[in-house]
């Protein structure tokens, strides 16, 4: 049976219409792809530092959606970027076009090349995805630095169409030429006067204009810079996503996902430059996940209150406990992380796995239960309701039924796995720099300065080693 006929048969048997919240309209809409293949893109990491559990909520949402689309019978082409240039530090203050390049800053801080930092952090990110049960073989991960020519070509198109202008520090998009600017999330542009965001750059024509191409600082030295028709420099943060989407998915896509913080600037800028270039609607469905907080405060590297997946694993919890915990909250609702919550998720996951093993292996999937389960999922991926239904009916389910439900939940109930085991490296084989960092970290741990210990862990990981705390002390393994 072909993909389309399979989907048709499911609809004929009462399979519910899939409905998703579209940030563009602010409404929950019935999902209908532009053609037979769903083209989907989610904003990936800027690989200057390891991703914390707040950052990982986005790829988990994309993975849950992809699994859902597959169950509904849709083939999917999925792309997720790796930002390894052009993301400046100024976006924390509301302006993504000021400050130092995050990759350059991280390389300078650690005494490594930007390329080395990018590769190390990318591999840490991939390891986290693997631990969360996200199948990377189904996703294309383009690096921004591999698509510089495509980004330059897109900027040239915008310039030719009259949307770009040049000032001292780069080429900028003129938002006054794009009447629909700010339509995503219904941003109130009138609430911010011209000049409110441009104290650092008074040459910008409008407060919301953004950089398409930045010039290398005069007299400065950058590790990452390229020749362009406008001068030596590097791409703006926003142009990379659009250029890679155009190249890998086409000028129009079905779904674009990301964190809610990307709506006001990054995603509105993506829309502006894409639609100015093509004259067509860029994305049909925009989906955004809410923040993760810890002790009521947003997880943030700058605030130093981050939690990483490896910390969850080192406390003896399954990495899939984090996946379970994410699923207990609706993706558009903020969640507050506590160690008690992840312990509860781990306990529930183990109970569910035991229940699966004790279930009958005989019989077909329970269509009545699955109809109710799919109805919850079809309502804008209501995974909390779907999980609640599993527990409500757990005593009456057989293994075949739970396997079908787990095709969306992704908890690997039929094959529960442990965190990846890596060979321990003898301390005598370690570089002197790593040995020094280990000693400093052990001192920090003994004095209960866990913030310092985590900082030192990050430095060790950037040098290519995983570290695990055991009763016998710190154990290192080569990545």
pLDDT in tens, 277-298: 999 999 999 999 999 998 777 7
- H helix count then E strand count, the chain: 15, 16
Q: Which of 395, 394, 391, 401 is nearest to 363 (CA)?
A: 401
Could you read off the pLDDT of 387-430 as tens digits, one per residue?
999 999 999 999 999 999 999 999 999 887 555 444 455 565 68
pLDDT at 4: 38
pLDDT at 385: 98
What crossing angle do the helices spanning 268-278 and 237-248 adopt, rounded to 10°?
Answer: 50
Length of the chain: 479
Mean pLDDT by 10 residues, the chain (479 residues): 39 74 97 95 93 96 97 96 82 62 82 88 95 96 97 98 96 96 86 44 90 88 89 93 98 98 95 98 98 82 81 92 98 96 96 94 95 97 98 97 98 73 57 86 78 81 78 71
Would you put residue 427 in left (φ > 0), alpha (ψ -120 to 50) or beta? alpha
pTM confidence score:
0.84
Report how far residue 237's alpha carbon sits from residue 234's, in angstroms, rounded to the nearest whole number: 9
Could you read off the pLDDT of 305-323 as tens digits, one per residue?
789 999 999 888 999 999 9
Q: Which of 467, 468, 126, 478 is nearest to 315 (CA)?
A: 468
pLDDT at 425: 57
């Amino acid at each position: 049976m072909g993909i389309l006929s399979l989907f048709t048969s499911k609809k004929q048997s009462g399979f519910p219409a899939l409905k998703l919240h579209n940030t563009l309209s602010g409404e929950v809409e019935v999902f209908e792809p532009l053609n037979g293949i769903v083209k989907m893109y989610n904003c990936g990491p800027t690989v200057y530092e390891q991703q914390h559990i707040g950052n990982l909520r986005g790829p988990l949402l994309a993975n849950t959606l992809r699994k859902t689309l597959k169950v509904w019978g849709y083939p999917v082409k999925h792309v997720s970027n790796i930002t390894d240039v052009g993301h400046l530090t100024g976006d924390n203050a509301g302006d993504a076009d000021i400050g130092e390049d995050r990759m350059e800053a991280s390389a300078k801080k650690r005494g490594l090349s930007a390329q080395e930092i990018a590769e190390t952090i990318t591999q840490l990110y991939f390891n986290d995805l693997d631990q969360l049960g996200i199948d990377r073989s189904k996703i294309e991960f383009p690096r921004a630095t591999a698509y510089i020519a495509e980004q330059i070509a897109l900027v040239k198109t915008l310039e030719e169409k009259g949307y770009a202008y040049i000032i001292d520090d780069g080429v900028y998009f003129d938002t006054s030429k794009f009447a629909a600017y700010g339509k995503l999330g219904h941003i109130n542009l009138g609430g911010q006067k011209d000049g409110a965001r441009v104290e650092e750059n008074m040459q910008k024509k409008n407060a919301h204009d953004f950089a398409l191409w930045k010039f290398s600082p005069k007299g400065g030295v950058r590790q990452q810079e390229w020749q362009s028709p406008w001068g030596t420099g590097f791409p703006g943060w926003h142009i990379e996503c659009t250029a890679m989407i155009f190249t890998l998915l086409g000028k129009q896509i079905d779904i674009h996902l990301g964190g809610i913080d990307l709506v006001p600037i990054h995603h509105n800028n993506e829309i502006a430059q894409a639609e100015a270039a093509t004259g067509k609607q860029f994305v049909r469905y925009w989906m955004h996940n809410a923040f993760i907080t810890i002790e009521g405060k947003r997880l943030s590297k700058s605030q130093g209150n981050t939690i990483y997946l490896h910390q969850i694993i080192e406390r003896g919890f399954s990495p899939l406990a984090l996946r379970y915990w994410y699923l207990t909250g609706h993706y558009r609702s903020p969640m507050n992380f506590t160690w008690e919550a992840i312990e509860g998720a781990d306990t529930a996951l183990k109970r569910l796995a035991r229940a699966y093993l004790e279930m009958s292996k005989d019989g077909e999937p329970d269509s009545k239960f699955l109809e109710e389960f799919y109805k919850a999922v079809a309502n804008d991926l209501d995974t909390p309701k779907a999980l609640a239904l599993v527990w409500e009916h757990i005593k009456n389910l057989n293994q075949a039924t739970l396997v079908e439900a787990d095709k969306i939940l992704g908890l690997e109930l039929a094959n529960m796995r442990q965190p990846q085991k890596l060979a321990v490296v003898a301390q005598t084989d370690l570089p002197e720099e790593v040995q020094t960092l280990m000693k400093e970290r052990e001192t920090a741990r003994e004095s209960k300065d866990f913030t310092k210990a985590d900082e030192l862990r990050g430095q060790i990981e950037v040098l290519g080693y995983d570290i695990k705390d055991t009763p016998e002390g710190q154990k290192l393994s080569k990545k």
